[in-house]
Amino acid sequence: MKLKLLSLMVAGLAITGCDQKPANTTTTPTSTPVAAVTPVTVNKADAVAVVNGQYIAKAALDELEKEIATRSHGQTFPKEKLVDELIQRELLIQDATKKNLDQTPEFVARLTDARKALLSQTDLQNFIAANPVTDAEIKAEYDSKVAAEKGTEYKARHILVKTEAEAKKVIADLDKGGDFKKLADKLSLDGKEAQNGGDLGWFSAAQMVAPFSDAVAALENGKYTKTPVQTQFGFHVIMREESRPQTPPPLDAVKEQLTPFLQRQKIETMLKSLRTAAKVEVLIPLTEEKPKVEAPAVVPATVESVQPTAAEPAVAPAEPAK
């Protein structure tokens, strides 16, 4: 499989520069107009290849492998291809440096933007590391938002048909003693449930569209709807079999969902604190003004033009109240 050339601007890849250093070591250049960079020395023992005397660090290969695994959802590539990719990047970097492309205004502007984005991400990561979500916070959120929720789960069946007339015919057959499960298997358009007597299993009201869940909630156990229930899927005849108090999921089942939610809350609080402490002035209008429309010139009316006719009353009748 041929590995395509990847983006050269990948955050975290320690691709080194092109300055030649003493034997067995190289150092990244530090002359950048954006920010001072501490030289990073790469020893020959810690390198995967050397390009015109410039060593490429093993760490760069490790980062590239992680990048590939993330972008390709776990797919791996031969190490030979990855090393070739790093060599190609280094060749391009050296060629660009010889041409002083790193000194162009366009490059400096893009590098400045990349630095700002990386700094903001790093600050958030640093904050999260310094303020981790604790087990106590997760438990408190679970108790107040998940375990405290009171609701009802329903077990129901349904028969889905295209038209209201068909649904009324199904209800008439049920009124005559028809078997709901058999009618569902024979008539329902919902293929999966049609093979199982229209069985929907257990569900909460939030899992169904409003007209459907409202109809189920209004039924008694063992009863079916006496009028068709219309949704975007068609017309339903619904039988509610059972109901029970909704059981909240265990803490361990929702812990991974609560953690990022609590992290976002912490970040929002931190950002509000920074904004409050800062002196911020917005210098542009945040809403667009609608263009002013000049009123048309008024044309003087003649006496004849304002006289009512037999077919046009002088005063228009008031509209009836809605």
Q: Can you give the CATH number for the domain in which 236 is found?
A: 3.10.50.40
- Among residues 180, 213, 245, the one where a domain terminates is 245
For residue 42, what are the contacts with CB-CB under 8 A and spacing of at least 6? 16, 25, 26, 27, 55, 56, 57
Instruction: State the average pLDDT over residues 67-88.
Output: 89
Query: 71: domain CATH number?
Result: 1.10.8
Q: How many CB atoms lie within 10 A of CB 16?
A: 23
Q: How many CB atoms lie within 10 A of CB 43?
A: 12
* Residue 94 shares a structural domain with residue 164: no
Task: Report the SS3 class of residue 160.
Answer: strand
Q: If 0-12 CB within 10 Å is exposed, 13-18 middle and 19+ buried, where does residue 14 land?
A: middle
- Among residues 222, 245, 268, the one where a domain terminates is 245
Could you tell me if residue 29 is inside a domain?
yes
The model's confidence at residue 318, banded by pLDDT at 50, 70 and 90, is very low
Domain that holds residue 87: 25-101
* Residue 156 shares a structural domain with residue 241: yes
pLDDT of 170-191, one tens digit each? 999 999 999 999 999 999 998 7
Residue count of the chain: 322
Whether residue 204 has pLDDT greater than 80: yes
Q: Which two tokens stand for residue 185?
A: 């298997």
Of residues 248 and 40, more confidently modeled: 248
CA torsion 97→101→102→106, rounded to 10°? Answer: -170
Instruction: State the average pLDDT over residues 28-55.
Output: 72
- Among residues 215, 245, 275, the one where a domain terminates is 245
CB 183 within 8 Å of CB 170: yes
Could you tell me if residue 64 is inside a domain?
yes
Give the HSE-up count for residue 241: Cα atoms under 13 Å, Cβ half-sphere.
Answer: 13
Distance in angstroms (rounded) separating the CA atoms of residues 191 and 169? 20
CB 142 within 8 Å of CB 251: yes
Q: What pLDDT does residue 297 have?
A: 53
The model's confidence at residue 307, banded by pLDDT at 50, 70 and 90, is very low
Q: What pLDDT does residue 7 have?
A: 40
Distance in angstroms (rounded) separating the CA atoms of residues 321 and 319? 6
Task: Report the SS3 class of residue 44.
Answer: helix
- Of 168-182, 208-222, 295-309, the range with the lowest mean pLDDT is 295-309
Q: Which two tokens stand for residue 101?
A: 């492309």
* Residue 95 shares a structural domain with residue 165: no
Could you tell me if residue 234 is inside a domain?
yes
Distance in angstroms (rounded) separating the CA atoms of residues 160 and 189? 5
Give the HSE-up count for residue 19: Cα atoms under 13 Å, Cβ half-sphere.
Answer: 12
Whether residue 37 has pLDDT greater than 80: no
Q: What pLDDT does residue 38 have?
A: 55
The model's confidence at residue 241, banded by pLDDT at 50, 70 and 90, is very high
88: nearest Cα among 114, 72, 64, 111: 64
Distance in angstroms (rounded) separating the CA atoms of residues 145 and 229? 32
Whether residue 291 has pLDDT greater than 80: no
The total number of structural domains in the chain stands at 2
Task: Report the SS3 class of residue 31.
Answer: coil
The model's confidence at residue 295, banded by pLDDT at 50, 70 and 90, is low
Percent of the chain scored above 90 by pLDDT?
63
Distance in angstroms (rounded) separating the CA atoms of residues 162 and 197? 18
